[in-house]
Structure 1
Amino acid sequence: MSPSRTTAAHSAQPGHRVICIAYPRAMSLDITGPMQVFATANDVRQRQGQPAFYQLVFAGLEAGPVTLSCGLQTIATQGLGQLRPGANSTVLVPGGDGVVDVQHHSGLRQWLQRTAPQVQRLGSVCSGALILARAGLLDGLP
Structure 2
Amino acid sequence: MRPRRLKNEINVVPYIDVMLVLLVIFMVTAPMMTTASIDVPSVGKAAQPPADALQVNIRADGKLTLLAPGAGERPVTSGQLPGEIRAAQESNPELAVVIVGDRSVKYEAVLKVMDELQRNEVKRIGLLVQLADK
TM over 0.5, yes or no?
no
Which structure's residues are more often helix, by fraction? 1
Rg (Cα) greater in structure: 2
Which structure's residues are more often strand, by fraction? 1
| TM-score band, normalised by shorter chain | 0.3 to 0.5
Higher relative contact order (Cα pairs below 8 Å, separated by 6+ residues): 1
